[in-house]
Amino acid sequence: MTPSSSIAAPGATPAPEEHHDHHPSYLVDGTTIKSWLLTVDHKRIGLMFLFWVLLFFLVGGIFALLIRVELLTPGPTIMDAMTYNRTFTLHGLVMIFLFMIPAIPAVFGNFLLPLMLGAKDVAFPRLNLLSLYIYLGGAFIALWGMLNGGLDTGWTFYTPYSAHTTTTVAPVLFGAFIIGFSSIVTGINFIVTCHTMRAPGITWFKMPLFVWAIYATSCIQVLATPVIGLLLCLVTVENLFGFGMFDPARGGDPVLFQHLFWFYSHPAVYIMVLPAFGVMSEVVATYSRKNIFGYRAVAYSSLGIAFVGFFAWGHHMFVSGQSTFTGGLFGVLTMLVGVFTAIKVFNWVGTVYKGAVDFRTPFAYFCGFLFFTVFGGMTGIALGTVSLDVAWHDTYFVVAHFHFIMVGATIMAFLAALHYWFPKMFGRTYHEGWGLVSAALIILGFNATFIPQFLLGNNGMPRRYYEYPERFQALNVASTAGASLLAFGFIIIAMYLTYALVYGKASGKNPWRSKGYEWVSESPPPTHNFVGPQPVFPEEPHFYVDPKKAEVPDAV
């Protein structure tokens, strides 16, 4: 089946685009540079975020490859130790603060939240534009610092090392501090939008699950980000002026830093992965043409993860000298996060049950996502098992685990979102064959990169090692080979999506015949999302029941 024929299947010719002459799509409504840079349209802002986020992903990815090449041999390969230490710091910082945290909320959240709620825009459109410029300002200050002097502490900035290191700490931390404001502003905007801008018919329990996930994420962003902001200020002051906050030589406490750091950075893991869960709830419902199995359970578990996520930070510190009892407490709380995630996984698989599966590129990413989430989540539970963490802590097992759950799940969701909503955003379609090939390459490459790292961790290789004992080499070579496969997959995606952007076939309004709310408007939507009177949403999202047989059931 060729992709084009499957899109324009018989009996389902998409209605010819209704050209409301006075309502051009948001893409062509104003074509000057100024009309983009000063826009308050949430869709254009989302698109600009997409551009920058992809650019930073490229930067972080190049540095990831440099790290993998360096680790090809036990000794020095292509760089010296100091350069290596700066490289992994840059990789971590860029990927976490500039890519993964904003990736799905700032791009797809911005683009879709108002569409999914039947609103014309987010609650504070100008604040929304501001968050883009705050993000860029912080990003460039941090990158400037990374390139002029370079930071070598790792993205965790553990004291007292970060208080002593002679590399440039201040601009990088200041940049990260500024980026935090972007995160807070976006979060507030989304929370207010969910509370005040829902169209008639959209009750809380008829909101699409992607909106639920973004809502839970926003709560974390607003509550946790200020903590790391203050912490980064304290470390900067400590580094510049020698305050004794965290340095025991001056009377400070290095473990205090870790508590404050993980109080943000543990929930931050859910800032990265909850939106991914939201994307997948939409994708699995659309491509299996099924209502979500256990809608409320999935919605509540997002809130549950957000809540419990705040009480699990101490599992990063089992061997930091905290008391045995504290270790146990954080261990149990960590298990609860696993239970909430398990609920989601079971409900996604349940959604496919008695569905009608159309195996497209986004669905292929859903399969990869399912594997990464289950395996990454289960290894997370294994790490939460206190005594096992004593052996694995700060080894490559941890590196592999968090890449599986944070990166694997998030990248799968990001790519699924990119493919699933590509027609919505640009009104064009990509080549389905290339989509499936690259999805297979990426899933394979990801496994080949990180499964060897689990084994490296078992074997005892610590993380952040520039040189390593000979016995670790075979697995490192395997990991590097996997990374190059992964890179190859991304290159293919970049090529066919860029091609589709310019030459892709017109997709029509709703190429997937989805009953997600965002497909009610045109694709691409006009500037104010909906033409004519305020749309009404009588059915719950993803209600694919035969209208003849449908006695509308109550949600569970």
Partner 1 sequence: MSELLNNILFLPEAASTFAERIDFLHHFVVGTTMVMSAAVGLAALFFFFRYRRRLPAQATEYVVPTLKTEFLFVSVPLVFFLAWFGIGFRDFTWVTTPPKDAMDVYVMGKQWMWKFAYPEGPNGVNVLHVPANRPVRLLITSRDVLHSFYVPAFRIKMDALPGRYTQIWFEATKPGTYQVLCTEYCGLSHSKMLAEVVVLPEEEYEDWIQEQRRGRLQDRQDALADNSLVPPVARMVEQGQVLAGTQGCLKCHSVDGSQHIGPTFLGMYDREEKLDNGQTIRVDEAYITQSMMDPGAHLVAGYQNVMPTYQGKLQGPETAAIVEYIKSLRTPNVREGASEGPAYDAIQ
Residues 58-117 that bind partner 1 (CB under 8 A): 81-82, 85
* 465, 473, 528, 535: which one binds partner 1 (CB under 8 A): 465
Q: Shortest approach of partner 1 to residue 487 CB, angstroms? A: 25
For 535-547, give the secondary structure using H, E and C. Answer: CCCCCCCCCCCCC
Give me the DSSP letters along 384-395.
HSHHHHHHHTTB
Q: Shortest approach of partner 1 to residue 482 CB, angstroms? A: 16
371's tokens = 């594997």
Q: What is the DSSP letter of 404?
A: I
DSSP-derived 3-state class of residue 512? coil
* 458, 473, 492, 528: which one binds partner 1 (CB under 8 A): 458
Q: Shortest approach of partner 1 to residue 323 CB, angstroms? A: 9
Report yes or no: 154 and 88 within 8 Å, Cβ to Cβ: yes
Q: How far apart are CA 383 and CA 393, in angstroms?
A: 8
Q: How far apart are CA 355 and CA 552, in angstroms?
A: 18
| Closer residue to partner 1 in complex, CB, 180/380 | 380
| Closer residue to partner 1 in complex, CB, 58/329 | 329
Q: Which of residues 409-438 bind partner 1 (CB under 8 A)?
A: none
Select the span of 49-57, 184-192, 212-220, 544-552 touching partner 1 (CB under 8 A): 544-552
Q: Shortest approach of partner 1 to residue 371 CB, angstroms? A: 6
| Closer residue to partner 1 in complex, CB, 109/208 | 208
Q: Shortest approach of partner 1 to residue 100 CB, angstroms? A: 21
CA-wise closest residue to 316 among 162, 164, 155, 176: 155
What is the size of the binding site for partner 1 (CB under 8 A)?
A: 101
* 332, 491, 494, 501: which one binds partner 1 (CB under 8 A): 332
Could you give phi then psi for residue 428, rounded to 5 degrees?
-130, 165
From residue 165 to residue 204, the character string flagging contacts with partner 1 as x (rule: CB under 8 A) and all else as - is xx--------------------------------------
* 124, 174, 307, 544: which one binds partner 1 (CB under 8 A): 544
DSSP-derived 3-state class of residue 376? helix
Q: Shortest approach of partner 1 to residue 407 CB, angstroms? A: 18
Q: Shortest approach of partner 1 to residue 166 CB, angstroms? A: 5
Amino acid at 117: L
| Closer residue to partner 1 in complex, CB, 339/491 | 339
* 134, 305, 407, 475: which one binds partner 1 (CB under 8 A): 475
Verify binding: residue 328, partner 1, rule CB under 8 A.
yes
Report yes or no: 224 and 144 within 8 Å, Cβ to Cβ: no
Cβ-based burial of 276 (10 A; exposed 0-12, middle 13-18, buried ≥19)? buried
Q: How far apart are CA 296 and CA 299, in angstroms?
A: 5
| Closer residue to partner 1 in complex, CB, 42/401 | 401
Q: Shortest approach of partner 1 to residue 524 CB, angstroms? A: 23
Residue 539's alpha-carbon distances to 197, 206, 376, 550, in angstroms, are 18, 8, 35, 11
Q: Which of residues 334-393 bind partner 1 (CB under 8 A)?
A: 335, 338-339, 342-343, 345-347, 349-350, 352-359, 367, 370-371, 374-375, 378-379, 381-382, 384-388, 390-391, 393
Residue with tokens 């493919």: 419
Q: How far apart are CA 363 and CA 384, in angstroms?
A: 31
| Closer residue to partner 1 in complex, CB, 7/117 | 7
Q: Shortest approach of partner 1 to residue 12 CB, angstroms? A: 5
Q: Shortest approach of partner 1 to residue 543 CB, angstroms? A: 8
Q: Which of residues 500-529 bind partner 1 (CB under 8 A)?
A: 513
Q: How far apart are CA 372 and CA 407, in angstroms?
A: 9
Residue 93 neighbours by CB under 8 Å, 6+ apart? 142, 146, 151, 155, 172, 176
Select the span of 58-66, 181-189, 326-334, 478-486 touching partner 1 (CB under 8 A): 326-334
| Closer residue to partner 1 in complex, CB, 176/398 | 398
Select the span of 54-62, 127-135, 319-327, 497-505 touching partner 1 (CB under 8 A): 319-327
Report yes or no: 120 and 207 within 8 Å, Cβ to Cβ: no
* 36, 460, 481, 531: which one binds partner 1 (CB under 8 A): 460
| Closer residue to partner 1 in complex, CB, 147/357 | 357
Q: How far apart are CA 114 and CA 122, in angstroms?
A: 6
Q: Shortest approach of partner 1 to residue 309 CB, angstroms? A: 16
Q: How far apart are CA 285 and CA 348, in angstroms?
A: 8
From residue 6 to residue 35, the character string flagging contacts with partner 1 as x (rule: CB under 8 A) and all else as - is ---xxxx-----------------------
The angle, 0 to 180 degrees and rounded to 10, between the axes of the packed helices 125-147 and 81-93 is 180
Report yes or no: 125 and 113 within 8 Å, Cβ to Cβ: no
Select the span of 21-29, 318-326, 410-418, 440-448 touching partner 1 (CB under 8 A): 318-326
Q: Shortest approach of partner 1 to residue 479 CB, angstroms? A: 13
Q: Which of residues 236-295 bind partner 1 (CB under 8 A)?
A: 242, 247-249, 254-255, 288-291, 293-295
Q: Which of residues 143-172 bind partner 1 (CB under 8 A)?
A: 152-154, 158, 160-161, 164-166
CA-wise closest residue to 105 among 18, 15, 225: 225
Q: Would you give the end-to-end CA distance of the chain in angstroms?
A: 38
Q: How far apart are CA 44 and CA 8, in angstroms?
A: 28
Alpha helices in 125-197 (DSSP H): 125-147, 161-164, 170-196
| Closer residue to partner 1 in complex, CB, 381/506 | 381
Q: How far apart are CA 354 and CA 334, in angstroms?
A: 33
Q: Shortest approach of partner 1 to residue 470 CB, angstroms? A: 12
| Closer residue to partner 1 in complex, CB, 338/504 | 338
Torsion sign over Cα 310, 315, 316, 322: positive
